[in-house]
Amino acid sequence: MSDHDKTIYDFDTDLIYEYFGSLERQGPGSPEATRKALGFIEGLTERSRIADLGCGTGGQTMVMAQCVPGHITGLELSGEFIGIFNRNAARLGLQDRVEGVTGSMDDLPFEKGSLDLIWSEGAIYNIGFERGLTLWREYLKLGGYVAVTDACWFTAERPAEIHGYWTRHYPGIDTIPANVATVQRAGYVPVATFTLPAGCWTDNYFAPGRAAQERLLSRYPGNAAVEEFVEAQRYEARMYDKYGAFYGYVFYIGKKI
């Protein structure tokens, strides 16, 4: 297998967590995009219960907490990320209504029908877009919202190189209209869909990534696994430079009825 064929699951988890844990966010996104998506959510109050699934270290969770009322539970597989998440919440004085817990997004620790909003940026791909939307629906109240970002194709067809890259890394990747149909099929009214601007990748994801790669290389000089991992990150950025017109992250907001 060449380095470029390796997916994130082929690397050591300690290395993945060390690298991504040093970034403010672990996927493409921005405070502006988070706030824009929140603008479509109606009716939140101090009593609202919100879950942010696959929250990482909580970059987007803290933005949410500063914009909307209610209690937010961040759920994340990595205990290390949850440690950083809870320290971030405390540093911002949000610890009374923002709490990070470890767990898996396909085994939610919430009561059925208890949530007003389920949020998930750049993480639903871990369990699949349709599977996640379907599983999560029963945890929402009637009239509750789901808001997720996922990597999607912008066009019906695309060059073979980028098609092959994404098919290896995320076989479930689909087009925007197909995903909107999935939102509806999973039992939600598709309320809004918008693509994230390129800066969410270039400025907010790849640029901090470059600095984190340098830190990793200087911390582990001559370590082949680290070099391979860094090369895979750099290849991802080169793919985006070349083919960013054909794919990107998209916000999907749906309302349970």
Decide whether 17 or 158 has the Cβ nearer to ligand SAH: 17
Q: For 41, which DSSP code?
A: -
Q: DSSP code of 96?
A: T
Beta carbon of residue 115, minimum distance to ligand SAH (angstroms, whole number)? 16
CB-wise, 26 or 213, nearer to ligand SAH? 26
Shortest Cβ distance from residue 74 to ligand SAH (Å)?
A: 9
> Which residue's Cβ has the minimum distance to ligand SAH?
56
**Smallest distance from ligand SAH to CB 202, Å:** 16
Would you say 57 or 179 has its CB closer to ligand SAH? 57
* Residue bearing tokens 């070099």: 227
In whole angstroms, how close is the CB of 149 to ligand SAH at the nearest point? 7
The nearest distance, CB 83 to ligand SAH, in angstroms, is 12
Residue 54's Cα: distance from chain center in Å? 7
In the complex, what is the shortest distance from the CB of residue 159 to ligand SAH, in angstroms, rounded to a whole number? 26
Q: How far apart are CA 250 and CA 197, in angstroms?
A: 9
d(CA 177, CA 174): 9
For ligand SAH, give the closer residue by CB, 103 or 158.
Answer: 103
Judged by beta carbon, residue 25 or residue 255, the one nearer ligand SAH is 25
DSSP collapsed to 3 states, 151-197: EEECCCCCCHHHHHHHHHHCCCCEEHHHHHHHHHHCCEEEEEEEECC
| Secondary structure string (H, E, C) spanning 108-159 | CCCCCCCEEEEEECCCHHHCCHHHHHHHHHCCEEEEEEEEEEEEEECCCCCC
Is the distance from CB of 249 to CB of 179 less than 8 angstroms?
Answer: no
**Smaller CB separation from ligand SAH, 171 or 177:** 171
CB 32 within 8 A of CB 195: no
In the complex, the smallest distance separating the C-beta of residue 124 from ligand SAH, rounded to whole angstroms, is 9
Q: Which residues bind ligand SAH (CB under 6 A)?
A: 25-27, 29, 54-56, 59-60, 75-78, 81, 104-106, 121-123, 126-127
Selection from 41, 31, 37 nearest residue 66 by Cα: 31
Which is nearer to ligand SAH, 147 or 162 (by Cβ)? 147
Both tokens assigned to 117: 């909003």
